[in-house]
């Protein structure tokens, strides 16, 4: 397995720190502790691309160049970062003009980029490199009885389907099933969560969030599992605002890595379980009591 | 009431040339109006022009309608339209280009928070190399209406009590390098016609 440099991205050091904590714990428990990319910078997300294309690509490519110096691929948990890095890699290979401009800019600060670095999502690494079987063998606390709706969000399968099916992604389903939990049918798997519209245009954003939560409830899920910090923010932090506008029972939102961590026997505290605004503790305790 | 009719005089041939010269966007000419972009768009119900209509208005050169539309600011870049389009029109990338041009030509509602967010985001990344989320949100609220802060108090407290609120200003080490690199990459040629 090619060396992986961990690229947490900005939100994992802020509102999404439970994702960071649980990922580190899961990879450590599987014997593959994460090493952070030295001096990484923001990928630029969708905002920078809305203003200046050249600078947006330069910004993202600095991370690719830093990883290349370490002869590593980038382990990229955030969907937005993942897409930006993948899009940059492709665009620099396809566009001679942009490739030239960006290489010139990297060269100005003593960096180089030959184009061999890939962004890799934890779902891909866990299913392909580490493998579901190895995860299964490491499970200490099977999560029997827990019903989970798997939510992948947009940008992990669109516009590129790099490691999973574009319409019916399965990698998170496989990992969650390996914990002994039940994965419910969830047709909104890749439907948009509203991204930053929850903040900028709440009447629009909150409605999109409502539909995702309501569907998970209707499918009988106890928790909704996510793989992106922005999705988590919308579904968890904005849930109280959604419930003020719509008739909806609360549903806790967990990162898939928090669920894997629980099954691997990592203490809840180390997984940031108590960082959920909508507490997951009652659901998890009920399940444990039921299973005992 | 003035009927909502466009005529030849409302068209900008330059705009039509510009939009169809964006990477991959020459395929707009092949659009057969199947409407899959609109049907698959999760934001469609809130838009003034559907994605299909916007692409059509663009290729015909109706600059003011396209750049002034609410649609481009509603797009969350979920790429559903891009994936569905049977003609492989890169709809999402065209939306990005339209946002860039609208910001550059300053044709959007002044208090619409979305372009303000984009600008504040860029400023913070350019200065420090990373985003500090709490600061970004506060700046956005200050610029788009302090009254909105009151609606955010509960949410802010939720973040504080779960240990997700941080006032630390995240910064990379090689800020000078970053600035030099962004300078060296130069300006985009696409917006100038």
**Under CATH, to which class is A4-120 assigned?**
mainly alpha
Asked if A51 lies within 8 A of B162 by C-beta distance, the reply is: no
In the predicted structure, residue A137 carries a pLDDT above the cut 50: yes
Position B190 scores a pLDDT of 59
Predicted pLDDT at A59: 96
Instruction: Tell which residue, A44, A80, A120, has the closest CA to residue A234.
Output: A80
Strand, helix or coil for residue A249:
coil
Going from N- to C-terminal start, the domains of chain B cover 8-104, 113-184
What are A233-281's pLDDT values in tens digits? Answer: 999 999 999 999 999 999 999 999 999 999 999 999 999 999 999 999 9
Nearest to A158 among B23, B78, B117 (CB): B78
| Level-2 CATH architecture, domain A132-291 | 3-Layer(aba) Sandwich (3.40)
* pLDDT value for B193: 37
The pLDDT tens digits for B85-106 are 999 999 999 999 999 999 889 8
Res. A1 pLDDT band, cuts 50 70 90: confident
Residues in A touching B114 (Cβ below 8 Å)? 196, 200-201
Per-domain residue ranges for chain A? 4-120, 132-291
The answer to whether domain B8-104 has CATH 1.10.1060.10 is yes
In B, minimum Cα distance to A206 occurs at: B43
Tokens of A229: 């910090």
Q: Is A74 helix (H, G, I), strand (E, B) or coil?
A: strand
- In chain B, residues with a C-beta closer than 8 Å to the C-beta of A106 are 181
The answer to which of A93-107, B1-15, B78-92 has the lowest mean pLDDT is: B1-15
Band (pLDDT 50/70/90 cuts) for residue B129 is very high
- The answer to whether A278 and A252 have CB atoms below 8 angstroms apart is yes
Three-state secondary structure of chain B: CCCCCCCHHHCCHHHHHHHHHCCCHHHHHHCCCCCHHHHHCCCHHHCCCCHHHHHHHHHCCCHHHHHCCCHHHHCCCCCHHHHHCCCCCCHHHHHHHHHHHHHHCCCCCCCCHHHHHHHHHHHHHHHHCCCCHHHHHHHHHHHHCCCHHHHCHHHHHHHHHCCCCCCCCCCCCCHHHHHHHHHHCCCCCCCCC
ipTM of this complex prediction, to 2 decimal places: 0.90
Mean pLDDT calculated for residue range A73-90: 96
User: CA of A209: which chain B residue's CA is closest?
Assistant: B42
| Nearest-angstrom CA–CA distance, A36 and A33 | 10
């Amino acid at each position: 397995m090619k060396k992986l440099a961990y690229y947490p991205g900005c939100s994992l050091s802020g509102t999404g720190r439970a994702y960071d904590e649980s990922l580190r714990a899961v990879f450590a428990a599987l014997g593959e502790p994460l090493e952070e990319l030295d001096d990484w910078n923001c990928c630029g997300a969708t905002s920078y691309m809305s203003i200046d294309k050249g600078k947006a690509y330069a910004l993202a490519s600095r991370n690719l160049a830093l990883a290349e110096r370490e002869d590593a691929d980038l382990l990229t948990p955030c969907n937005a970062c993942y897409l930006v890095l993948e899009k940059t890699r492709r665009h620099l290979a396809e566009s001679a003009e942009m490739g030239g401009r960006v290489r010139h800019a990297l060269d100005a600060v003593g960096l180089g980029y030959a184009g061999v670095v890939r962004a890799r999502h934890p779902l891909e690494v866990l299913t392909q490199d580490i493998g579901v079987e190895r995860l299964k063998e490491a499970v200490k606390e099977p999560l029997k009885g827990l019903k989970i709706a798997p939510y992948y969000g947009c940008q992990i399968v669109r516009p590129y389907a790099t490691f999973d099916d574009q319409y019916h992604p399965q990698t998170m389903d496989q990992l969650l099933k390996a914990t002994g939990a039940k994965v419910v049918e969830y047709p909104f798997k890749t439907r948009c969560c509203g991204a930053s519209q929850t903040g900028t245009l709440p009447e629009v954003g909150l409605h999109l969030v409502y539909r995702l939560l309501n569907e998970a409830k209707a499918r009988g899920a106890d928790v909704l599992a996510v793989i992106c910090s922005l999705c988590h923010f919308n579904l968890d932090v904005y849930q109280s605002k959604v419930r003020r506008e719509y008739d909806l029972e609360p549903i806790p939102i967990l990162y898939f890595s928090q669920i894997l961590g629980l099954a691997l026997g990592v203490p809840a505290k180390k997984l940031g379980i108590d960082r959920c605004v909508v507490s997951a503790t009652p659901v998890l305790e009920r399940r444990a009591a039921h299973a005992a | 009431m003035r009927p909502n009719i466009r005529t030849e005089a409302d068209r900008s041939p330059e705009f039509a040339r510009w939009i169809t010269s964006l990477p991959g966007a020459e395929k707009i000419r092949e659009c057969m109006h199947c409407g899959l972009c609109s049907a698959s768009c999760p934001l469609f119900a809130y838009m003034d022009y559907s994605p299909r209509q916007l692409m059509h208005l663009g290729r015909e050169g109706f600059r003011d309608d396209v750049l002034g539309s609410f649609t481009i600011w509603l797009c969350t870049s979920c790429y559903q339209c891009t994936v569905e389009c049977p003609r492989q029109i890169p709809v999402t990338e065209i939306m990005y280009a339209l946002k860039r041009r609208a910001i550059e030509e300053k044709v959007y509602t002044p208090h619409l928070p979305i372009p303000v967010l984009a600008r504040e985001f860029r400023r913070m990344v350019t200065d420090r190399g990373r985003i500090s989320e709490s600061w970004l949100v506060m700046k956005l609220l200050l610029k788009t209406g302090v009254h909105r802060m009151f609606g955010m108090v509960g949410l802010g407290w939720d973040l504080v009590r779960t240990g997700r609120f941080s006032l630390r200003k995240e910064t990379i080490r090689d800020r000078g390098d970053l600035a030099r690199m962004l300078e060296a990459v130069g300006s985009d040629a696409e917006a100038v016609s």
